[in-house]
Structure 1
Amino acid sequence: MGDITKRLNMEKNSNGYYKKSVLQRILSFILIVVIVFGGLSLSKYLIKTKKVAKRKKPKKIFVNVEVTKGEKVDTNYIIKGFGRIYPAKEVSIVPEVSGKVVYVNQNLIEGGFIKKGETLIKIDDTDYKIRLNKELANLNSLKEDLILEKSKRNRALKELNSAKDFIKDIDNESLYVLKREPYIKKIEENIKIAEENIKQAKLDLERTVIKAPFNCYVLKKYIDVGGYVNSGVKIADIIDADMVYVRGNITKADLKYLDINKNINAVVYNDGEKIDAKLFKLEKALDEKGLLLKVILKIDSFNPNIFLYDYVTFDLIGKELKGIVRLPERVVREDEFVWIVKDNKLHLKKIKILFEDENYVYTYDIDENSQIIVTNLSSVVEGLPVKVINRVD
């Protein structure tokens, strides 16, 4: 017993640490083996006794969508174009008489509006009144001379009648002079000239007052009070305030939708504002590429918000189309596709858009009863399972 106890006691080695005996090493090995086999047995038992989970069939996932329908309508084809605004009339005001400017309309400034018939400027008319009075006096003098000559002719005729035997030997030319005919004829010619001079003098006097030929806006003025104007030299540039043109282009393909034998209405868009117009002229010449036709639209009223030479878009109202389907613009994807629902699946439908307006597109390529997806989806594939949760009018 003492020997065993001694063997179990650990001896210290040369470094001062205890050293395991042979028996201690055997017991440690046996303990490790027992732990390993025990763990394996426990694992095997747990595997045999665990419950196996039943595999369930995965649920089918649907994407929720809202849908709408198209509407079959009869409507006019809309031709879209672009153009630029030009004045219908642009006129330079040129005086026909010369003189000092004594009056200028206060609205004769750049951008000013002047009504038809209002005075633009007045030229000093003193000299023109004097000339007219002289011509009138000259005419009165000639008329008095004519009366006098006719009186002389009457006396001469009486004298000639009393001397019939004497005038037999007088030639016709001398007789013509004796009757005062050359003098009367000359005065009558001078009277006609004087009357024409009076007409011209009156006309020149009227021309000292220059009036607006139509309702107008002033582009430029070149004179002021106190200045001198010469006949034939322009004093202002004006434009028609009642009408402007839009010169623009449409595509050659759109021409078949225009009924050029009828009055064609149009709408011009300028910074969001709609302005009524009419087709004034359609030129039959294409551009250099052979794609565009030139058109001229007429706007009858000069809108204050219109700026000359500004760029605008416009719609021409074309022929009527029967039974075309109208769709909200938002349902069109990539400019040529709509997503429709059929048998709870999404399908890509390619359509040809004939034309569009502010909110809708128009096509013959889809049935009016098709369920068209309104919902925006991040990714779309043909045949994607979908579920309609709402119908939008």
Structure 2
Amino acid sequence: MKLNRTNMIVTVLSVGSIFAALAYTASQLPPAPNQKAPGAQAAAKPVEKTVPAALLPQVGVVVVTGQAYQAEVIGFGEAKPRFELTLSAEVSGKVVEINRQFESGQVIKKGTVLGKINDISYQQALTQAQTDVAQAELDLLEEQREGEQAKAEWLRSGLSGEPASPLVLRTPQLAQAKAALDNAKQALKKAQQDLAYTQITAPFDALIVSRDVQPGSYVQTGTQLGALYSVAEVEVSVPLSEQQWQNLPAFDNATLAKSPWKVSIQSSDGLTQWPGYIERVEQHLTQTSRQRSLIVVVDNPLEQPIDLYPGTFVKTVIAGQAIDNLWQLPSSAISQQGDIWFVDHNGLLAKSAAKVAFEKAGFVYVSPIVIEHTNEPHSMQIVKRPLSNFKVGTKVLAKVEV
């Protein structure tokens, strides 16, 4: 057993000596003609690897150029009546009659009598006022006659100059009688008006929104009787951003009064449309949105093929002015971060913040991207559907889509 172990050790040492001799001999030989000297690989220029086009990721693009497009401004607002009236009692008394049309949902004409208040005391007041006018007229006539008599007596007295007091010719008494007559006439007008107010009438063509009294109710002056909306027209206040105002012509109220600007009004689901027009523009910014609004009007909203009810939330579509040098892109070309991705002339992905002018019919219209210190062509390849994992500088294969 001891002998075998000694033989094994001698064998291993012999093999090691042979490999050491071979390594030394190889180091002394000159390098082969095609072999580079040690360290030459680090100094050589690395070989650039070219990825075959078939292996590049494909992106769908649209080719765009700057053109002129007519702007379209979209706004939203609530349809409101021009007049919203809380109908109040002008006189006190018991409600003795209510018109059947004085109910919510009814449309009434101007001057329609909606109800009556007990008018006996007001008829009596009118009669008394008429009596007072007649008495004041009589008092004036008597004072005028007495004044003429006083003047005649002064002339017969032979005194010269003016009387020492205006009372001699009864001048103050005549002025007082005239004033009393004027006051009596005004009291008569007041009595006539109060009697007229016992009839509750509609001040304009109106939609009854609510009725707040019943037959037998006792009302005081100022008691709320109901609520009315005018039906001749509704208004939509549309707040716009500064960019949207720039896409519209320079409106002013004097011009709009002569030639209103037509507007298409749509329901929130887009299934119903109503014709409207811009009647005026506001000259102040609202405190909530810090935006300026224009007022769109729809005439006879309850006489349209499909009624436009007050309180309806609507979308307004306003044709603006033509704007030069815009790109027309599908709405999907704008990323969630508001960027436009494009493929440059080297086939690399790049992006830029989108400057949206307006949107229309599924397209978005943006200002062209300005790339400094390059000779980019007038047309650009815009990625139609950018992905969230896109990285700037990625080599891609652009595929033009319609």
Question: In structure 2, what is the Cα distance between the partners aligned to 1:325 and 1:191?
Answer: 80
Q: Equivalent residue for 2:25?
A: none
* Offset at residue 235 of structure 1 (A): 1.2
Match of 2:145 in 1: 151
Say if 2:73 and 2:317, in contact at 8 Å, map to a contact too.
yes
**Corresponding residue of 2:363:** 360
User: Which amino acid in 2 is paired with 1:110?
Assistant: S
Aligned to 1:281: 282
Partner of 1:164: 157
Once the two structures are superposed, the pairs formed by residues 221-260 of structure 1 within 5 Å of their partners are: 221-241=211-231, 242-246=233-237, 248=239, 250-251=240-241, 254=244, 256-257=246-247
Shift of 1:231: 1.1
Instruction: Map Cα deviations across residues 223-251 of structure 1 (whole Å, 9 max, x no partner).
Output: 13333321122212223332333364x55
Further displaced range: 218-227 or 250-259: 250-259
Task: Give the match for residue 324 of structure 2.
Answer: 322
Q: Scaled by the length of structure 2, what TM-score is found?
A: 0.59
Verify: 1:99 aligned to 2:93, yes or no. Answer: yes
Evaluate the alpha carbon distance shift between residue 193 and residue 251 of structure 1 in structure 2; reply closer, same or farther with a 3 A threshold.
Answer: closer
One of 117, 130, 133 as aligned partner of 2:124: 130
Normalising by structure 1, what TM-score?
0.60
Report the equivalent of 1:203: 193
Which AA in structure 2 matches 1:293? R
- Asked whether 1:188 is paired with 2:178, we answer yes
Contact 2:115 2:201 in 1 (8 A): yes
Partner of 1:301: 298
Unaligned runs of 5+ in 2: 1-53, 302-306, 370-376
Deviations for 1:332-374, whole angstroms, at most 9, x for unmatched residues? 787756899x9xxx99786736221123222344989779899
Distance 1:301 1:124, change over 3 A: farther
> C-alpha displacement at 1:312, in angstroms?
4.5
Aligned counterparts of 1:180 and 1:307: Cα–Cα separation in 2: 65
Decide which moves more: 320-329 or 262-271.
262-271
Aligned to 1:120: 114
Alpha-carbon distance change, 358 to 215 in structure 1, aligned in 2, over 3 angstroms: farther
Instruction: Work out the CA distance in 2 between the residues paired with 1:83 and 1:382.
Output: 47
Q: Does the residue aligned with 2:223 lie in a helix, a strand or coil?
A: coil
Alpha-carbon separation, structure 1, partners of 2:123 and 2:65: 76
The separation in 2 between residues aligned to 1:293 and 1:158, in whole angstroms, is 79
> Which amino acid in structure 1 is aligned with residue 324 of structure 2?
K
Please tell me whether the aligned partners of residues 238 and 295 of structure 2 are also in contact (alpha carbons under 8 angstroms).
no
Shift of 1:103: 3.9
Q: Could you say if the C-alpha distance between residues 219 and 129 of structure 1 is closer, same or farther in structure 2, counting changes exceeding 3 Å?
A: same
CA RMSD, Structure 1 to Structure 2 (Å): 4.9
Which residue number corresponds to residue 210 of structure 2?
220
Pairwise CA distance, 1:180:
4.9
Measure the CA separation in 2 of the matches of 1:124 and 1:106: 18
CA deviations on 1:101-138 (whole Å, 9 max, x unpaired) are 34434333233333334333333333323322322233
Contact in 1 for aligned 2:89/2:222 (Cα 8 Å) = yes
Displacement of 1:321 in angstroms is 0.6
- Looking at structure 2, the residues matched to 363 and 80 of structure 1 have their Cα atoms a distance apart, in angstroms, of 16
